[in-house]
Amino acid sequence: MSERTCIVTRRAGEPEGLLRFVASPDMAVVPDLKRNLPGRGCWVTAERGHVDQAARKNLFARALKAKVTPPDDLGGMVDRLLAQSALGSLGLARKAGQVALGAAKVDAAVRSGKALFVLHAAEASPDGVRKIDQARRATVHLGGPATPAYKLFSEAELGLALGGTNVIHAAVLAHDAGRAVLKRVVALDRYRGGSPDDRMIGDRTIVAATGVCDDAAEDME
């Protein structure tokens, strides 16, 4: 796909860094995360602040050339869709046996180089996170892979996706299902304003794991 232009920043970029929106039959603005809905579309940089600004100023009407009305919480709707996609793929990875749960198993997966990335629940204690961070640094120091870590979900959300209780730490392993989860996690992290370092590490891990650049939204549900 060729470059697209964000209706907020007016800057052109690759489609994987933007979100597509279309008009529904009832003239509401609808996010098209899979980029396959029919009709005229417009593009917004895939970050919450830009989506909120586009909705607040109703930049969609001019871009879509229609009298459309964005939902009251369009930015929140997109966040929920991205989170649902990430959690859904995480559940599939768990069923495929590609998720390690619990601090001890996560530590072992990181040190063995089998972990593609780590998830910490929002309720994770600083000490628990610190111990796994030590394993991540030690692995890199010994020549192993960099393992990005994200804190995007609550304990309840992780437990529901993974079919368990008290899910505080999880490691997703470097297999096909794990790579699918990582693409969605990176997309959600970007949308929520993850730091440039987080993005760089996440992108580098995706390229190393898959051999291709990130295209986080290409197959989202």
In contact, 120 and 172? CB cutoff 8 Å: no
Pairwise CA distance, residues 59 & 42, whole Å: 10
| Cα 201 from Cα 199, distance rounded (Å) | 5
Instruction: List, for residues 7-44, the tens digit of each pLDDT value.
Output: 999 999 888 899 999 999 999 999 999 999 999 999 99
The pTM of this model reads: 0.84
Domains and CATH numbers, the chain: 4-72 (3.30.1230.10), 78-210 (3.30.1330.30)
Tens of pLDDT, residue by residue over 62-79, are 999 999 999 999 999 999
- Amino acid 1: pLDDT: 53
Query: Per-residue pLDDT averaged across 155-159, rounded?
Result: 96
205, pLDDT greater than 70: no
Whether the predicted pLDDT of 218 surpasses 50: no
CA separation for the pair 134, 127 (Å, rounded): 11
Percentage of residues in the chain with pLDDT exceeding 70?
87
Query: Is the pLDDT assigned to residue 212 strictly greater than 60?
Result: no
